[in-house]
Structure 1
Amino acid sequence: MTLPENDLSRLPDLTEIEKRCLELAANGRTPADIVLETDLAMPRVTDAMRSAIDKLDARNITAAITRAVRLKLI
């Protein structure tokens, strides 16, 4: 499923953890940095980032961040 950039009627439902991880990654934080800043375990951070990538129908974290910003999710 490809999410059109201008279709705001079907915004992905990101969790607060997914949003936080995307925001931190958008600000240059690595997964290890995110672990330290959020006190989440590394598997939880990687799961949240992978889930956000999937929900945003992106190929990687950079594309997920770009799409989340364009959709005003972060």
Structure 2
Amino acid sequence: MKLPAEAPPEIVQIVETCWDKNPDKRKTMTVHSNALQIYYEARAPPPFPITPVTANASTSPGSTPGHHC
């Protein structure tokens, strides 16, 4: 199977190692999953700004610490 010419090189590399004729050269699903996660995180900005939560974060009146709903 031929990959599209516009496929990102990182994805091509993952796919090619999945398809290697020699099973000993194929990487584990964990390795591929980690590679895809790194690829995704490097290219996809979060849908909204992420603010780290600290242990000393104050709560608004009427809210209970640890409850977000």
Normalised TM-score (structure 1): 0.31
Larger Rg: 2
Question: Which structure shows the higher helix fraction?
Answer: 1
Name the structure, 1 or 2, with higher relative contact order (CA <8 Å, separation 6+): 1
Normalised TM-score (structure 2): 0.33
